Chain A
Amino acid sequence: MNNNVSNPAPADNEAILGILNNSEAMLKRIYLAYFPMVLQLVITNNGNEDDAKDIYQEAIIVLYNKVRAGNFELSSKLKTFIYSVCRRLWLKRLNQMSRYGGDIHDLQEYLPVEEDIANHEEKDIQFSKMAGALGLLGEPCKTIIEDFYIKDRSMQEICEKFGYTNADNAKTQKYKCLQRLKKLFFQQK
């Protein structure tokens, strides 16, 4: 069903409020409203739809982090911001793939967003380091850590899930796992 053409963009202040309130519905509205623009940008500049998806999602993450950190100024339009971030990210990607053969074909004006992208990249590195460390951790440690620290499950639940008879044993196991995870995390480059 092609309903993308008729996705009116939410008003900027409305959108920001939605982001701050963690509204899934607003996220969806924003996402659907601006994806076509980014897809067009990427496709007209040597990319495909998967490239567009990757950089668009990154840009949405950048936007969310910025808004939640209270750094988003309403003076700049949401659309322009998303476009600028995507443009910057795509230029970077093109350079990495050595596919960048001169100037990018622009669809609209853009803002300097280097600082936002630098912040994002810093966070991105942390994220992939954590993913790597968790990947190396192995079971059952990984699940215990995820359940307790990320999904906020109680120790009681975890005990039952893994069949620990003694809650103290489970706790000790959890701390050991956490120690190992820290070690793995900081060992990574």
Chain B
Amino acid sequence: MSDIELIAIVERYLNGEMNADERIRFEMLRRENVEVDNTVKEHQEFTSRLKQYGERLEFENLLNDIHNEIDVQALKDEFIHHPSLIVRLWRNHHSKISVAASIAIFAVLGTLFLTGYLKTQKQETDVINLKKEIAQVKHTNDVISKSINTLNTRSKVVAPSNYHGTGTAFAISSDGYLVTNFHVINGADSVFIQNADGTSAYHAKVISTDPANDIAVLKVTDASFKTFGALPYGFKKAKSDLGEDVYTYGYSKDDGFYSRGYISSGNGFKGDSVKYQLAMDVDFGNSGGPLLDAKGNVIAIISSKQAHTDGAYAIKSKYLFKAIQAISPDSLKSDKIILNSKSKFANLGRTQQLNKLQNYVFMVKVYN
């Protein structure tokens, strides 16, 4: 008996098309044969599912017919009357609107940032420049009046002095003596020296001054001070030659400043024999700094610069020797200062020389 034949029989049985005799026989078969029984149940279930499917489909069609009679729009308007169009738009599209709004905000901010940022920066530089100019004008005035007071004959020379009252000094002996320009410390109530990285600062006392040659000798007075250590550079008393390669290190700004050049004249401004004229870039604050030759000998002290042109003046070391000799013995605690004549870093390169030099050159802070 094939499957199809069996189903045909099952269908006849389920539809009640069998006569009584057939029916009894089939029911017996159903009890004996599980497979037949299962087929009957399965068929019954499946056809009822089909029936349900049909009914549901019919029911849905009926519902749709009823639905079509409703004026949905009119009903909707009734409910939508309260929430306005904007609210409805927001409800339906709030995610899209949010995204669009974010993009818009970013675009606006981006544009503002690009254009506005550049604009602000430009304004800022303008302000800074202006500030600097005012400060410079003020300084120039200060310096000029100071120069007039101290050095009447050099009225056209501007002494590169104190940016906010600072200058440069350098050690001349390991036990605390330093030298700087007289104009740096002139009129000071107290003087402080500070090393390159600002880690140590000492109070210093003016030991002696030589206003004519613009030299001042200082001494560290702090009890905590022990020694500078052996000086790496020497002092050369003899006159240096024209064209000699020279350099300096000082504090024309808050950090140390290195500059190099050459001796362009054996005399200073208007034949001033105390000084050399230098072709070198120095600035306010370099005053009192050491001028060294290539071998590391101090040959002069930076003192002033030419107004309006590049060029500087430095006091010849000869006058430093003189100034030290002239110090009255009672102002020296220990014995005489002896200037070391031998440079210890003659054979080193410039950068290594500077590395060592830094530790012996100080920023002078003057308080009036």
Contacts and interface: CB of A to CB of B under 8 A. Distances in A.
A5 B73 CA distance: 13
B152 interface: no
Interface of B: 3-4, 7-8, 46-47, 49-54, 56, 59-60, 62-64, 66-67, 69-76, 78-80, 83, 91-92
A55 B92 CA distance: 18
Given A46-B91, A178-B7, A182-B46, A4 B75 contact: yes
A65 B121 CA distance: 76
B79 A130 contact: no
B76 A61 contact: no
B63 A31 contact: yes
B72 A171 contact: no
Interface residues of A, number: 43
Given A53-B72, A145-B50, 16 more contacts: A4-B75, A27-B62, A27-B63, A27-B66, A31-B63, A32-B70, A36-B75, A43-B76, A43-B80, A46-B92, A123-B52, A126-B53, A127-B52, A127-B53, A150-B53, A176-B4
Interface of A: 1-5, 24, 27-28, 31-32, 35-36, 39-40, 43-44, 46, 48-49, 53, 57, 60-61, 64, 123, 126-127, 130-131, 134, 145-146, 149-151, 171-172, 175-176, 178-179, 182, 185
A58 to B, nearest CB: 10
Closest 7 CB pairs of A and B: A150-B54, A130-B53, A2-B74, A175-B4, A149-B50, A31-B66, A57-B63
A55 to B, nearest CB: 12
B16 to A, nearest CB: 14
A61 B80 contact: no
B76 A2 contact: no
B76 A28 contact: no
A64 to B, nearest CB: 7
Given A4-B75, A61-B56, A130-B50, A175 B7 contact: yes
Contact of A130 (B49, B60, B62, B74): B49
B84 to A, nearest CB: 14
Given A150-B51, A150-B53, A61 B8 contact: no
A149 B15 CA distance: 12
Contacts of A185: 46
26 contacts: A1-B71, A4-B74, A27-B63, A32-B70, A35-B70, A36-B78, A39-B75, A39-B79, A44-B79, A48-B92, A49-B76, A57-B67, A61-B59, A61-B63, A123-B52, A126-B52, A127-B53, A149-B47, A150-B50, A171-B8, A172-B4, A175-B4, A175-B7, A176-B4, A179-B3, A179-B7
